[in-house]
Amino acid sequence: MRRIVILGGGVTGLALGYLRNRCPAPGDDVLILEEGPSPGGTVRTIREEGLVLEAGPVSLRTTPASDRLVEALGLSDDVLVADPRAPRWIVRGGRARRVAAGPSLLLGGALPLAARLRALAEPFVARRPADLADESVHGFFVRRFGAGVARWGAEPLVSGVWADDPRTLSVRSAFPALWEAEGRAGSVLRGLARAPRPRPRRTISFRGGLGSLAERLAERGGRAGVRIELDAEIAGIEGPFDGEGNGGVWKVQIADGTVYPADTLVSTLDAPSFAEALGPRLPRSGSRLAALSYSRLAVVLQAFRADSPDAAPRGFGLLVPRGEGLRSLGVLHLSSLFPTRVPNGVALTTSFFGGALDPSAPDLCESDLLRLAEAEVRRLHPRLGPRLHGRALKWPSALPRLPVGHHETLRLLDADLDELNAGRERPRLVVTGTWRDGLGLGDRIARAEELAPSL
């Protein structure tokens, strides 16, 4: 009998357990250990006051793997698809300006004219020096597209996706497609134009919110024999021991003292928790992973009365560069994205505060956050009616901050894992996480699908 223990019961851990055990070898045993009180990790849907609210991710950009998973889980009929033409906005000069997604951003009025003209010269900018192994997102955009695009395009993009500081975030690790496009073609725009057209991705959620995905994974996983221990904080891990006998290769102890033997350990933890649990077995990468920091975020969910259709915010949402007089990093328009699950005459917004550029914002108390979020949403959408509901939540370790040179940490981790797993038919330790191999939910599911057969 092989015992597989998955550390972390977020979407990645749940999907790994479910996908691994759809066709288990006879006798295999899959256990998920999750320190929180419910499965789902960062995915946290709150259903209250007749509303479906998202404290964490609000939508999933599909990948072929996520499409297959949604279908296998019987969730296809619950899928809600956001309008792909829904506009996105950036605040500049106190006004929300519409932006196109992708390279077309460079042509629209969101950027000052001088910035647009400079950006169009990108294909003629010299290719990066051969010895430049990585650089900050800010440095990359200034070099390729000019300071205007770095200020008005890259900074809000970095806030919206990574809640990070573009001057410290690694472009190679955080936006590998842009880094590779330049590497391939000597120009980002030429490289993107030559890349094979990706399958169109949809932006989806479910009638009951993204929580439906976590709930269904836990339920179907349970039917396939995957056990989930909640409130099970990892307290210590011993091993690897030599044999795969009854004692197991690893012994995982949780906070209440229970010890679980494992032949294969799969970590889906954040980098510092992973390094704390397994650091001594990672002589090359352990201390670098332990030092990886995370941004903090506060999220404010609000429902407003919106009696006329033009009172409600339209489109996907807006991003706010610093210096625009607003503290919100961005505001998502949930009722515009998935209108069919919102009661008539109600508008839902999600405001984000904090991140690396405003690290003290999450220290505000709940009532101050609610006041701030309401004032800023009203400034942008003055015709909204009274607020019907509001809720502020905090994420103390929201998103990993990948420093310039992070790829080198990952290379050292690969070397540590190669050594640990050398000569084994099945790996002893498998590691995945947003800090290693993809941030979006669609990518997390793709990673789970890729790894499950190897366990």
Ligand X SMILES: Cc1cc2nc3c(=O)[nH]c(=O)nc-3n(C[C@H](O)[C@H](O)[C@H](O)COP(=O)(O)OP(=O)(O)OC[C@H]3O[C@@H](n4cnc5c(N)ncnc54)[C@H](O)[C@@H]3O)c2cc1C
Shortest Å, Cβ 136 to ligand X = 21
Over the Cα atoms of the chain, what is R_g?
23
The reply to whether 334 sits near ligand X by the rule CB under 6 A is no
Binders in 385-404 for ligand X, by CB under 6 A: 395, 398-399
Quickly tell me which residue has 């941004």 as its tokens: 295
Binders in 202-261 for ligand X, by CB under 6 A: 233-234
* Stretch near ligand X under the rule CB under 6 A, chosen from 87-95, 169-177, 267-275, 336-344: 267-275
The reply to whether 57 sits near ligand X by the rule CB under 6 A is yes
Shortest Å, Cβ 402 to ligand X = 13
17 vs 191, beta carbon nearer ligand X: 17
332 vs 377, beta carbon nearer ligand X: 332
The reply to whether 34 sits near ligand X by the rule CB under 6 A is yes
- For residue 214, which of 34, 15, 394, 63 has the smallest C-alpha distance? 15
Q: What is the Cα–Cα distance from 227 to 14, expressed in whole angstroms?
A: 10
* Stretch near ligand X under the rule CB under 6 A, chosen from 41-49, 85-93, 302-310, 322-330: 41-49
* Stretch near ligand X under the rule CB under 6 A, chosen from 53-61, 192-200, 317-325, 401-409: 53-61
Asked if 177 and 440 touch (Cβ cutoff 8 Å), the reply is no
The reply to whether 316 sits near ligand X by the rule CB under 6 A is no
Q: What is the Cα–Cα distance from 327 to 100, expressed in whole angstroms?
A: 23
10 vs 156, beta carbon nearer ligand X: 10
The tokens for 273 are: 């928790």
The reply to whether 9 sits near ligand X by the rule CB under 6 A is yes
The reply to whether 164 sits near ligand X by the rule CB under 6 A is no
Whats the size of the chain, residue-wise? 455
The reply to whether 269 sits near ligand X by the rule CB under 6 A is yes
Choose which of 4, 6, 10, 356 interacts with ligand X (CB under 6 A).
10
32 vs 188, beta carbon nearer ligand X: 32
Number of residues located near ligand X, criterion CB under 6 A = 36
* Stretch near ligand X under the rule CB under 6 A, chosen from 54-62, 74-82, 192-200, 418-426: 54-62
* Stretch near ligand X under the rule CB under 6 A, chosen from 51-59, 125-133, 221-229, 369-377: 51-59
The reply to whether 297 sits near ligand X by the rule CB under 6 A is yes
Q: Which amino acid is it at 99?
A: V
Choose which of 80, 178, 271, 299 interacts with ligand X (CB under 6 A).
299
The reply to whether 434 sits near ligand X by the rule CB under 6 A is yes
Shortest Å, Cβ 132 to ligand X = 28
Choose which of 338, 444, 446, 449 interacts with ligand X (CB under 6 A).
444
The reply to whether 13 sits near ligand X by the rule CB under 6 A is yes
187 vs 336, beta carbon nearer ligand X: 336
Shortest Å, Cβ 180 to ligand X = 21
Choose which of 6, 30, 31, 43 interacts with ligand X (CB under 6 A).
43
Binding site for ligand X (CB under 6 A): 7-13, 33-36, 41-43, 56-60, 233-234, 268-270, 273, 297, 299, 395, 398-399, 433-434, 439-441, 444
